[in-house]
Structure 1
Amino acid sequence: MKQKLTNNLSSNLSLRILSIFLASCLWVFVINTDDPITTRTFTNMEVKIIHTEVLDSLNQTYQITEGEKITFSIKGKKTIVDKLKKSDFTVTADLSELSSVNAVPIKIQAKKYADEIEIIYGNEKTLKLEIEDLQQAQVPVVAETTGEPKSGYTVGKKTTNPNLVNIKGPVSIVKRIKQVKVLVAVDGISKDMVTKVRPVCYDSDGIEVDQSRISMDVNTIKVKIAVWKSKKLPLSIETTGEPADGYTVGTIDYEPKYIYVTGESRDLSDLSEINLPAIDIDGKKSTVEESINLDSITLPEGISLAQQEKEIMVKVNIDKLSEKDLTISDKDIQILNNSHQYKVEFVDSAIQIHMTGLTSSLKQATLDNLKPRIDIGELEPGEHNVSVILEEISNVKISGDRTIKIIVEEENSQTEED
């Protein structure tokens, strides 16, 4: 009987243990069915760098070369995993842990449920940096304009405040920066303007430099643009020296004939023309062509060029001389200023002149154009040698004795003698 009771008790205990085991399995099954373990992945999580003062104390800076954004996963109960967002995690790289190969471990921490989830790192476990010394430099500020002012006006003096900016950043970037520019649009303006402009850095080739890793001591530059009136002035050009014997200066052609200058009104009012440097033709026998750079012209103080063209093309024609002789008869000579009504008798019947010049010019050297004449306004009665006055003909040189002998008499002198 005792043995039977013992067997029953053993059988009941085994059943109870089996029941407990089955119940546990059932509970685990139910739990896992209702709230299973799941995995979730977060991508493009930005790594926050902390303790940057470590490099600041060494006057150094960094640039991320690898690991700026990472991907990681979390594992845990679905009810918990589904509640978590990117903002529930901090991803940091502590520069105080910087290694000799410029790598920093990346640490991911959950702000909540940290004990109920597992963080699974992706491939990016370290942040890799490029370490570089910092440099400071003072760089000049240059103001430039875009567009065109109102017609009849031009951009004058450009001033900036400040005219130097302090720049700080990696050596490799700062040493590239040669100029800081501020660009101001001046389309259609006709008076001075003041504005504030964001400065932009440029290298020696005029290429804009990325400013994301540098700092300046100012965010904007104050720029004043003076607007001046412009004036159209004719150009004047002369020659120096003499061509070779038998040659003369012909026409002088140049383009443009006018240039625009700018300045304050009081300075412009005194200007009527711009004199170009003289062209040397000494000993020349053929056409002389030269280009004159307007930048080489000395302009009055306060006056500057207001146009794009910088070159004046000049052509001085050197022509071979022709010759022409002309006899001027006493009948062709007009008598001037005979206020006393004197009688004038020509002792010499004619004069001979010799002319040299361009063929085209010599054709103009006619009696009608030369208008030969003598002036007797200051003469008393008697015999005189007077000079025949001739009109000048462009590009014609006249030689020969122009003196002619005349006798001046009072009109009634012959009657009294009789």
Structure 2
Amino acid sequence: MINIFKNNLKIKLLSLFLAFIMWIYVMVEADPIVIRDFNDIPVRITNIEQIKEKGMTISYDSDLKSNIVLRGRRSLFKDITKDKISLYGQIENPKLGENIVNIKASLPENIEYTIMPEKLGVILEQNVVIRKEIDVQKSGRLKEGVKITDINISPKSTWIEGPKSIVNKVDKLVCRLNLDNKDSDFNVRTEIVPLDKQGNVIEGINLKDRYAYLNVSVSNSKRVPIKVNLTGKLDEDYKLISYNISNDTVVIYGKQNELDKVKEIYTSKIDISNIREDKKIIANLEIPPNIQASVKDIEIEFKVSKLITKDFHIPKSRIIFNNIQNLDISKNNLPENILVKVVYLEELAGDIDEKDIQIFVNMQDDILETSKYEIKYNIPYPVERVDVVPRYVEIYK
């Protein structure tokens, strides 16, 4: 009986040993120990808020990444990917300049790891917060004849936060607006981008607002003539020779129904009664409500001349009688001199001479015993007015 018991015990111990050997074999073959490397894992600083409360932040140049080597059973790695590995560390007694951080890892149990490097040098800088206006950077072209009348941006400015060395590089904040083929009002959401003076994008800062919302108003256009609105009258001793305007048309912008109402644009009233010489003035354009114009005013150049009045006494012997056909006519009732009163521009003062003035009478074939004829004149210059005294003469056979 005792021998049987001893034999069974030996068999059981042998079976247990064989089972252990089989388990070891299965573990080695079916779920072996493996080693995996993961590179460039971001390192999270756990006390960053405490650091910011002290007016500091991590320099953009600090490389907060490390590598890790994992060792464990293959079955433990089925849910482990690079983005699920957490490396972290705390900056003890933070100060401006370089600080050393000991890196730790958050991983499932039974996984061994080695972090390389296990310490990082982290540069802390002064944390700066400033507010900057947001500019609109336009690109593309609207449809022909269309113009932007207003751009409303929200927000108009935002806060920038980051390391002093980076924030100081920010020259402006822009949001980019594409205008290609736009011909009506539109709204758009666009990203706010920090730029340096060379127009390069700045990385490593935080913006309170990531996007800006733009409301863009556009208008149609057409070209209309400009009308000069003159009032008053020049003194009788002066004449307005001409006036020239710097623009005789203007492009106006507005909604189509408003544009259809406008046929021309007038200047403001211009009183010419006191003009005595050539003169240039600036006249405002009377732009209707809800309409915009390419120009707000125009220049008008007036040319004015003084009028000269001069009396010329022409002897009656110089009167030419046309068509008398050998008739013997009496000139006894004619005055010795015919008064010719000439009004001309001041510029002609040295040109007009008495000898240049011809006076004549056109006779008719059927002259009566006594006939009345108009004395006419010929002056080879562009004069303004001529009065002949007497205007008529009586001719006797």
> TM-score w.r.t. structure 2 length?
0.52
Would you say the 8 A contact 1:192–1:225 is kept in 2?
A: yes
Amino acid at match of 1:85: I
Would you say the 8 A contact 1:103–1:126 is kept in 2?
A: yes
Q: 1:121 aligns with which of 110, 115, 118?
A: 115
Amino acid at match of 1:271: I
- 2:202 maps to which residue? 210
Q: 2:156 aligns with which of 142, 163, 180?
A: 163
Residues 92 and 223 of structure 1, relative CA distance in 2, 3 Å threshold: same
- 1:187 maps to which residue? 180
Q: Does 1:271 align with 2:265?
A: yes
Distance in 1 between residues matched to 2:376 and 2:39, nearest whole Å: 113
- 1:72 maps to which residue? 68
Identical-residue share of aligned pairs (%): 15
Q: Does 1:105 align with 2:102?
A: yes
- 1:48 maps to which residue? 44
- 2:392 maps to which residue? 408
Residues 121 and 206 of structure 1, relative CA distance in 2, 3 Å threshold: closer
Residues 89 and 191 of structure 1, relative CA distance in 2, 3 Å threshold: closer
Distance in 1 between residues matched to 2:248 and 2:192, nearest whole Å: 40
Q: Does 1:198 align with 2:191?
A: yes
Distance in 2 between residues matched to 1:233 and 1:206, nearest whole Å: 42
Could you list the per-position Cα deviations for residues 250-285 of structure 1 after superposition, in whole angstroms to 9, with x for gaps in the alignment?
xx9x9x9976454574797552689xxxxxxxxxxx
- 1:94 maps to which residue? 90
Could you list the per-position Cα deviations for residues 155-184 of structure 1 after superposition, in whole angstroms to 9, with x for gaps in the alignment?
112222332323333333334434333333
Deviation (angstroms), 1:408: 0.8
Would you say the 8 A contact 2:226–2:266 is kept in 1?
A: no
DSSP 3-state at the match of 1:54: helix
Deviation (angstroms), 1:113: 0.4
Q: 2:212 aligns with which of 218, 221, 224?
A: 221
Would you say the 8 A contact 1:92–1:107 is kept in 2?
A: yes
Amino acid at match of 1:223: L
Amino acid at match of 1:188: N
Amino acid at match of 1:163: K
- 1:154 maps to which residue? 147
Could you list the per-position Cα deviations for residues 209-267 of structure 1 after superposition, in whole angstroms to 9, with x for gaps in the alignment?
42552122x3432322222233436799xxxxxxxxxxxxxxx9x9x997645457479
Residues 136 and 109 of structure 1, relative CA distance in 2, 3 Å threshold: closer
Unaligned stretches of 5+ in structure 2? 1-16, 228-243, 269-281, 296-317, 323-333, 348-358, 362-370
Q: 2:124 aligns with which of 109, 117, 131?
A: 131
- 2:57 maps to which residue? 61
- 1:85 maps to which residue? 80
Distance in 2 between residues matched to 1:141 and 1:215, nearest whole Å: 12
Amino acid at match of 1:229: N
DSSP 3-state at the match of 1:140: strand
Residues 82 and 234 of structure 1, relative CA distance in 2, 3 Å threshold: same
Unaligned stretches of 5+ in structure 1? 1-22, 237-251, 275-295, 308-328, 334-344, 358-371, 375-380, 393-397
Distance in 2 between residues matched to 1:170 and 1:269, nearest whole Å: 60
DSSP 3-state at the match of 2:103: strand
How many residues align structurally? Answer: 292
Distance in 2 between residues matched to 1:95 and 1:69, nearest whole Å: 15
- 1:174 maps to which residue? 167
Amino acid at match of 1:199: I
DSSP 3-state at the match of 1:104: strand
Amino acid at match of 1:91: L
Amino acid at match of 1:167: I
- 1:145 maps to which residue? 138
Would you say the 8 A contact 1:143–1:182 is kept in 2?
A: yes
Residues 40 and 189 of structure 1, relative CA distance in 2, 3 Å threshold: closer
Residues 67 and 355 of structure 1, relative CA distance in 2, 3 Å threshold: closer
CA RMSD of aligned residues (A): 5.8
